[in-house]
Amino acid sequence: MIEFRGVSKTYPGSARPVVKDLSFEVLDGEICVLVGPSGCGKTTSMRMINRLIEPSSGEILIDGEPNTAMSGTKLRRKIGYAIQQIGLFPHRSIADNIATVPQLLDWDKARIKGRVDELLELVGLDPGVYRDRYPAELSGGQQQRVGVARALAADPPIMLMDEPFGAVDPINRSRLQDEFLRIQEEIRKTIVFVTHDIDEAIKMGDRIAILKEGGVLAQYDTPEEILTNPTSDFVTSFVGADRILKRLSLTRVSEMELEPANGSGEGLPTLSDRLTVRDALSALMGAGVGRGVVEGEGGRRLLTMEAIEGLTRGARA
């Protein structure tokens, strides 16, 4: 668990803090996304966790211990670190790039080699093909994967990722995001993920910390809560006018509690329960009806407008 306790940061020579009295907790195994407009202090907040930046006041605890309990370099070897610009070492092979931290930790050669191949597999790069290549021989998306593999190398319980998919085109970004979520299912790391893109935050985050100008925490909650119950005008406008639709994209029809259709489904459109509620709503509206029949593992069930509205109940429209 990572715990921010009243953390503030004022850069030398600057009058105003860029992070102000930040307090929140990142739970084990969760992805916590820091999101907010440019310059609101996301990167600064993240870099204070592994002490690339020291806070001006307050403290950050990792598993109950202040992160100042050990030296900065020792701390950083225990925390995975991946950044938008990737920063692969151009003179080192892909294998050596990934092996950076294991080498620092003096793992034996066989163990390092095994780990490198395992990680290349994990991020979807064939070890036989890519192990001995150099960064310049990889596409941007492939380098991004290697950056993630490198951050994971010594199996750190915590990962810091600063706009890790920021430099890739939207199609590849979406693929990398999906892949990363699949990997996270397996590895269950505690992740602090920085982005300025609210859609990425909603997709990636188990919990989202929305920061506003001046590094003030505007809201810290699950994506569902932030979309249905934004606590301030700032959050409302930051998440966008389509927040209710975004909320509906977060749930699949199969996850809803619906009445069995029994005989009443006659003449209604049939939908797959794999659809997101948003897509199902779109289909219903397209068909010009207020109800539809969902087919899936739960048998034939009835999807109604009321059931959809139930999902966003409490929303101040």
Partner 1 sequence: MSEFLDVFRRPDFIPLLVTHIELSVVALLLGVLIALPVALAVNRSPTLSAIAINIGNIGRAVPSLALLALAFPLLGFGFATSLVALTALAIPPILINASTGLRQVSPQVMDAAKGMGLSGAQILGRIQVPIAAPIIFAGIRTSAVQVVASATLATFVGGGALGQLIVLGFQRNQPAIQIAGALAVAVLAIITELLFGFLERAFTPKGLRVARKRRGK
Residues that bind partner 1 (CB under 8 A): 50, 52, 73-78, 81, 83, 85-93, 100-101, 104, 134-137, 147, 150-151, 160
74 binds, among ligand ATP, Mg ion, partner 1, none (CB under 5 to 8 A by kind): partner 1
Compute the least distance from the CB of residue 20 to ligand ATP, in Å.
11
Compute the least distance from the CB of residue 264 to partner 1, in Å.
59
Nearer to partner 1, 136 or 171 (CB): 136
43 touches Mg ion (CB under 5 A): yes
With CB atoms as reference, the residue minimizing the distance to Mg ion is 43
Map the footprint of ligand ATP across residues 89-128, applying CB under 6 A.
none
150 binds, among Mg ion, ligand ATP, partner 1, none (CB under 5 to 8 A by kind): partner 1
39 touches ligand ATP (CB under 6 A): yes
DSSP H helical segments within the chain, as ranges? 42-49, 72-77, 94-98, 100-104, 109-122, 127-130, 140-152, 170-187, 198-204, 223-228, 233-239, 243-249, 277-287, 305-311
Could you tell me if 41 and 9 are in contact, meaning their C-beta atoms sit under 8 angstroms apart? Answer: yes
Q: Which segment (37-45, 150-158, 250-258, 261-269) binds Mg ion by CB under 5 A? A: 37-45
Compute the least distance from the CB of residue 162 to Mg ion, in Å.
6
What is the number of residues in the chain? Answer: 317
Nearer to partner 1, 152 or 210 (CB): 152
Q: Which segment (23-31, 40-48, 58-66, 183-191) binds Mg ion by CB under 5 A? A: 40-48
Please tell me what DSSP assigns to residue 9. E
Q: Is 103 exposed, middle or buried (0-12, 13-18, 19+ CB in 10 A)?
A: middle
Could you tell me if 189 and 158 are in contact, meaning their C-beta atoms sit under 8 angstroms apart? Answer: yes
45 touches Mg ion (CB under 5 A): no
Nearer to partner 1, 13 or 267 (CB): 13
Angle at 36 between CA 32 and CA 40, to 5 degrees: 110
- What tokens were used for 106? 């003096």
Compute the least distance from the CB of residue 192 to ligand ATP, in Å.
12
38 touches ligand ATP (CB under 6 A): yes
Q: What is the Cα–Cα distance from 219 to 209, expressed in whole angstroms? A: 6
40 touches ligand ATP (CB under 6 A): yes
**Cβ neighbours for 310, distance < 8 A, ≥ 6 positions apart:** none
Whole-angstrom CA distances from 20 to 17, 27, 62, 118 are 6, 21, 20, 41
190 touches Mg ion (CB under 5 A): no
Q: What is the Cα–Cα distance from 23 to 274, expressed in whole angstroms? A: 38
Q: What is the Cα–Cα distance from 317 to 314, expressed in whole angstroms? A: 9
Radius of gyration of the chain (CA): 22
Q: Which segment (40-48, 174-182, 217-225, 284-292) binds ligand ATP by CB under 6 A? A: 40-48
44 touches ligand ATP (CB under 6 A): yes
Q: Whose structure tokens read 């999101």?
A: 35
Using the rule CB under 6 A, which residue among 196, 252, 274, 291 binds ligand ATP? 196
Nearer to ligand ATP, 53 or 245 (CB): 53
